Amino acid sequence: MASVNKVILIGNLGKDPEVRHLEGGVAVARFPLATSESYKDKSGQRVEKTEWHNIVVWRGLAEVAEKYVRKGQSVFIEGKIRTNQYQDKDGNQRYSTEIVADSLEILSPKGSNEGGNTAEQQSAALHQSSTHQTGKTSAPAGVAQNDEPDDLPF
């Protein structure tokens, strides 16, 4: 069915990425990303409103996030919206929405890694192959296929 689920964000990391390396070698990184807009309220006061997004990146992109992306930095992200369902401790159905990124570009080198990275690193343009995300028909033999398993905790 004709369907599109696309998100484009430019914002700043609220924390360093948290990276987990799953069995099979697959990496997952997560970090909060702030976007903000400012507008005038009814009384004419300028107000800043910040939106927080839970970003998730997988595999190679997660490894890059782990190495080059830090709290405070500005990044461009392209991805899709994903809402996970879970039961809370009282058995209530809960929802948690995140952005699964398949492209990430570092826009500015700020935050806690000023000492280190090179211009080359800062400008890394990274795109998750959609082949890996969906069909995987062209994935070479020997490559772990259990990316983004449905039974992962989130």
Partner DNA sequence: TTTT
Regarding 50 and contact with DNA (CB under 7 A), the answer is yes
Q: State the sign of the Cα–Cα–Cα–Cα dihedral 98, 99, 104, 110.
A: negative
84 binding partner (options DNA, a copy of itself, none; Cβ < 5 to 8 Å by kind): none
Regarding 14 and contact with DNA (CB under 7 A), the answer is yes
Of the candidates 66, 65, 52, 71, the one whose C-alpha atom is nearest the C-alpha of residue 113 is 71
Regarding 60 and contact with DNA (CB under 7 A), the answer is no
141 versus 153: smaller Cβ distance to a copy of itself: 141
66 versus 82: smaller Cβ distance to a copy of itself: 82
Under 8 Å CB-to-CB from 83, ≥6 apart: which residues? 95, 96, 97, 98
85 versus 138: smaller Cβ distance to DNA: 85
Give 15's DSSP letter: S
Residues 26-45 interacting with DNA (rule: CB under 7 A): 32, 34, 36, 38
Q: Which stretch binds a copy of itself (CB under 8 A): 14-22, 61-69, 71-79, 110-118?
A: 71-79
How far apart CA 117 and CA 31 sit, in angstroms, is 19
Pairing of strands 46-58, 18-21: unpaired
